[in-house]
Amino acid sequence: MDSQAAEQRVLELHNLLNQYNYEYYVLDQPSVPDAEYDQLLQELNKLEEQFPSLQSPDSPTQRVGGEVLDSFKKVTHDQPMLSLGNAFNEGDLRDFDRRVKQTLDEDSYVYVCELKIDGLAVSLKYENGLFIQGATRGDGSVGEDITANLKTIRSIPLKMNQPFSIEVRGEAFMPKQSFVSLNAIRDEKGEEPFANPRNAAAGSLRQLDPRIAASRQLDIFLYGVANPGETGVTSHSAGLDLLDELGFKTNKERKVCSTIEDVIQFIEGWADKRPDLPYEIDGIVVKVDSLEQQRELGTTAKSPRWAIAYKFPAEEVVTQLIDVTLNVGRTGVVTPTAILQPVRVAGTTVQRATLHNEDLIREKDIRIGDYVVVKKAGDIIPEVVNVITDRRTGDEQEFLMPTHCPECESELVRLEGEVALRCINPKCPAQIREGMIHFVSRNAMNIDGLGEKVIAQLYREQLIHDVADLYTLTKEQLIGLERMGEKSADKLLAAIEASKSNSLEKLLFGLGIRHVGAKAAKTFAQHFETMDALAKADIVQLTAIHEIGDKMAEAVVAYFAQPEAQELMEELRSAGVNMTYKGPKLVSVAESDSFFAGKTIVLTGKLHQLTRNEAKDRIEALGGKVSGSVSKKTDLVVAGEDAGSKLDKANELNVEVWDEQRLLDELNK
């Protein structure tokens, strides 16, 4: 390929990848399978390597740079990033409204209400449509340059849809699921967990290595244009609409309110709904909509007079800490857990709260018998906030972490750089038992009937020593167990036998390789197709796969290098456990001649011959994309039994509708 043809192809790839990225991370409506995106990105990488002059700062390949910074440079904001004044009750809101009315000396103003995302405020600068700099708020006047880390957030466009030179403001945040996953990984490593998603987001964006920030799966909502002059917008709500048009991600849960009564009603509605959001909010932001009226209202030294943040009260409750128990995980980390007098917090009954490690217990001076304040970190994880020392009677007992494993009596160690105590005995019964419980779990081998108690019995009776032993169990051995009759034994053996035919990704996830979750296991299985091929892969081959990083690749290589792992693979293979990927092969849109290639399909109603996931997998394998909602971009709706509003929407928009049999006929062609 000559340089002119390469330049044309690079431009085409930029446009395609930016469009696919926008659909996936901003609209949440991906139009192509991940494999298609990966292939195009790999093609672009190769072209840029072959023609270095064609690599540009806004290239999709520049999301994560390899350079590790020594420190962050200081950035002076062109316009200050002011913090908002707070309102804590209805009276504060009415006082704010009264001040606005007095200053404007008129009634013709409206408010815009937006969810207050609990994250890190950032500023993004664009020149001629290109992202050139991102910074933290800092002290409001001077922040830190975190451009490299912000580039890893895929909902931030590296190039806008129009060549404006503007500065926009937003809130970078960590979704709740990312927060849970990150803390689980940190617990496994013996590292200090993050207290809440906000701290996790801030800590991620202040990493000097952008690859760490990239691994944290952050997101962002843009909430304003700092210098709207060039854009021509005259209201805050119009500015948000413009951000949508330019390709940014804004929060759609916003509303224009004509009166303070409407504002209060909006706030009351979200007070109950916020636990259901996939991200954390801590209040509602209320802004005067007109930019001219905002200028008239002005600012104080610290805050704008035209906006206020209503803060939801943190739900904290008091209960008694009855005991502290210890759990040894499958990686050997010993985690203390508080046993609480049951109490309702954020809609659920809480009886246990993780104490994470010995350092946290010492720092908070937590004792058995204490009355403690409990909340849910990020509305998710029960956490002991502090101790009410005034209620101590003198009967409370100091808790001391053991020096030896509570399961195997091996001496516990604290590895360098870790805060957790860890049992490093590879034959520790708790680790083996927890590993087997993970192996049979729903997302792994899914062996129905093999719960924690049955696994514990089997291990205690020395009928199993590793996961391969599950496939040598006999009926005679099982019926000797407590509460295990002939029918239960037959059912369990049938479930074990059925698990042998699982696709490779189930087995791979069940092995419990560090850093390899269910999604990564499926990615590996799709790419390598056999366990042998994966076991022989090196780090270069593994990291060539989109979204597979160095740590995960190193963990996979290290796992299969162990003689014990190689022996386990042979035992499983001898037992007849499937070692190949049985799911639909990945087909790119370019390669597929299927009807579904490049189309957006919505499944609704009850299907009888396929499960919803089976239908989704088969459609996506043929180059289609399955969406959860019907819109003008929907190409086809497959309506099963009792199809409801989605079918109505399809008919309203004149979208083609098939029944299940028509879908099957097309899939089987």
Instruction: Indicate which residues carry an active-site annotation.
Output: 116
Cβ atoms 221, 249 nearer than 8 A: yes
- For residue 593, what are its two tokens? 């001649």
Measured distance CA(118)–CA(284) in Å, rounded: 11
Rounded to 5°, the CA angle 516-520-524 comes to 105
**CA-CA-CA-CA torsion for 361, 367, 371, 373, nearest 10 degrees?**
0
Q: Which amino acid is at 168?
A: V
Coil, helix or strand at residue 161: coil
Provide the 8-state DSSP code for 562: S
Q: Name residue 145's beta-bridge partners.
A: 135
Cβ atoms 315, 373 nearer than 8 A: no
Cβ atoms 169, 117 nearer than 8 A: no
Kindly write down the DSSP assignment for every residue of 398-455, as one continuous string.
E----SB-TTT-PBPB--TT--SEE---TT-HHHHHHHHHHHTSTTTT--TT--HHHH
Measured distance CA(669)–CA(658) in Å, rounded: 16
Query: What are the CA-CA distances from residue 594 to residues 5, 414, 434, 637 (Å)?
Result: 29, 56, 44, 17
Measured distance CA(609)–CA(279) in Å, rounded: 36
Measured distance CA(4)–CA(82) in Å, rounded: 48
Q: Give burial (CB, 10 Å; 0-12/13-18/19+) of 555.
A: middle
Measured distance CA(430)–CA(330) in Å, rounded: 7
CA 412 to chain centre: 32
Cβ atoms 301, 111 nearer than 8 A: no
Cβ atoms 383, 195 nearer than 8 A: yes
Placement of tokens 């020096």 in the chain = 403
Coil, helix or strand at residue 616: helix
Provide the 8-state DSSP code for 304: B
Q: How many CB atoms lie within 10 A of CB 124?
A: 24
Helix axes 34-50, 3-25, angle to 10 degrees: 150
Handedness of CA 213, 63, 168, 139 (dihedral sign): positive
Taking alpha carbons only, the member of 620, 633, 616 closest to residue 594 is: 620
Spatial neighbors of 208 by CB under 8 A, at least 6 apart, are 68, 69, 70, 71, 72
Cβ atoms 305, 99 nearer than 8 A: yes
